[in-house]
Amino acid sequence: MSSLLRFNKLRNNIWSSCPSRLLMQHAGFSSAKNVDPRSYGKRHFTTRVQETDSLHGAGPGSCISGIQPFRFQQTSEHDRSATILIFDTETTGYFHKNNRIVEFALRDLSGGKNSTFETLINPERDVPKFLSAVNNITTALVCRPDVPRFGDVLPLLLAYVRSRQTPGKPVIWVAHNAKTFDAPFLAQEFDRCSAQMPEDWLFVDSLRLARKLPKLPKSDENIHLLNLVALSKRYGISVEKPAHRAMQDVTMLCQVFQRITFHLKLTYEGLVNEAIKATDFSKVPK
DNA sequence: TCACCTTGGTTTAGAGCAAG
DNA sequence: CTTGCTCTAAACCAAGGTGA
């Protein structure tokens, strides 16, 4: 299959039409003629870039309260150019060496159009039933020919991130327990594709940041804990119920992360100091 | 000077917790 | 269900202070 045909096949599964030209350019294609926007809404989607005028303008049922375009405590010239991506992965298990990603979602904290990216991923293996019970992601849902493998999503993801990145500035990826869970999983998938994560990608673990918050006394509602739900409760963020779907968790973490950075008076420099280089997770030699 | 006690720092082991 | 990180308590050791 030619790379262009493959791109179009994948692109047909993307809901939004807006970023197609941009993604094509970043993915190295010279023309967007073969991408037909009319087909987007007709297909079962597995990958989508959300097209909203703002984080608050996604329409009924999709309004995200509490998320504002991100600003650091002490503004500096770096703040305007920092690209901060909140992300989350759903997987087939805990340990990245034996398991695969089945869903990936991210949100650019700067907001604006096309600020989200989410996709199901074909893990090419069964999803354990006890995990399907947690996140409703079943083997039948993801192990299908029209669900892209990570290797298929990779060029789109790289192109998307590049389209959000300020040239010459790093991309800061934030996830809860990123250090031991999300980042190693992502690195493992890159390794499986024999790909190297860009050197200017940095990973920040919001769990590590949360541990720096003042400790609360133990309570029946468990708001002294540091998981996402507990932190949401702590900051008065409404939680319907633990979703364990990537984009829902990303949305929750967006709000939690902004409050943590505010609480800790974290600056851009402080955040970078907390970060781990993407290359520290990868085993693929440069 | 020696023995004993207290204090402070370091190391170690185990529990708790975070993620799907 | 797994793995790894962090925290805490206990154990250990060295140094310093005090009294006989």
A211 CA → C12 C1’, Å: 29
For the residues A23-45, what does the mean pLDDT come to? 36
Over 90: is that where the pLDDT of A31 sits? no
Q: Which nucleotide is nearest to A93 (CA to C1')?
A: B20
Cα dist. A17→A21, A52, A163, A222, A273 in Å?
9, 12, 15, 43, 37
Residues A223 and A242: their CA atoms lie apart, in Å, by 14
Residues A54 and A61: their CA atoms lie apart, in Å, by 14
Q: Which two tokens stand for residue A73?
A: 């405590």
Residues A46 and A12: their CA atoms lie apart, in Å, by 10
Task: Please work out, in degrees rounded to the nearest 5, the angle formed at the alpha carbon of residue A118 by the alpha carbons of A113 and A124.
Answer: 160
Q: Which nucleotide is nearest to A103 (CA to C1')?
A: B20
Q: Which residues pair with A171 in a beta bridge?
A: A83, A201
Give the mean pLDDT of chain A.
76
Residues A174 and A182: their CA atoms lie apart, in Å, by 9
A137 CA → B12 C1’, Å: 42
Over 60: is that where the pLDDT of A30 sits? no
Read off φ and ψ for residue A80, nearest 5 degrees: -70, -20
A206 CA → C10 C1’, Å: 31
Looking at residue A9, the DSSP 8-state letter turns out to be H
pLDDT digits (tens, 9 = 90+) for A54-104: 343 333 333 345 566 666 665 454 455 679 999 999 999 988 888 999 999
Q: Find all residues with CB under 8 Å of A268, minimum gap 6, and list them.
A: A72, A76, A78, A79, A82
Question: What is the per-residue pLDDT for A71?
Answer: 65
Question: What is the per-residue pLDDT for A238?
Answer: 82
Q: Which nucleotide is nearest to A90 (CA to C1')?
A: B20
Asked whether residue A130, judged by its CB, lies under 7 Å from any atom of the DNA or RNA strand B, the reply is yes
For the residues A211-222, what does the mean pLDDT come to? 81
Q: Which residues pair with A14 in a beta bridge?
A: none
A62 CA → B11 C1’, Å: 52
Confidence of residue A51 (pLDDT cuts 50, 70, 90): low
A150 CA → C8 C1’, Å: 41
Asked whether residue A251, judged by its CB, lies under 7 Å from any atom of the DNA or RNA strand B, the reply is no
Q: Which of A56, A78, A244, A263 is catalytic?
A: A244
pLDDT digits (tens, 9 = 90+) for A98-133: 899 999 999 999 988 899 999 999 999 999 988 898
A21: amino acid identity, one letter: R
| Three-state DSSP class for residue A116 | strand
Task: Please work out, in degrees rounded to the nearest 5, the angle formed at the alpha carbon of residue A270 by the alpha carbons of A264 and A272.
Answer: 135
Asked whether residue A91, judged by its CB, lies under 7 Å from any atom of the DNA or RNA strand B, the reply is yes
Confidence of residue A283 (pLDDT cuts 50, 70, 90): low
Q: Which nucleotide is nearest to A134 (CA to C1')?
A: B20
Read off φ and ψ for residue A218, nearest 5 degrees: -60, 140
Confidence of residue A243 (pLDDT cuts 50, 70, 90): low
Which bases on strand B have an atom closer than 7 Å to a protein beta carbon? 17-20
Q: Which residues touch strand C (CB under 7 A)?
A: A 93-95, 130, 179-180, 208, 211, 215
Confidence of residue A256 (pLDDT cuts 50, 70, 90): very high
Asked whether residue A88, judged by its CB, lies under 7 Å from any atom of the DNA or RNA strand B, the reply is yes
Over 90: is that where the pLDDT of A15 sits? no
* Torsion over CA: A251, A165, A267, A204 (sign): positive
The reply to whether A244 belongs to the active site is yes
Q: A196: how many CB neighbours lie within 10 A of its CB?
A: 16
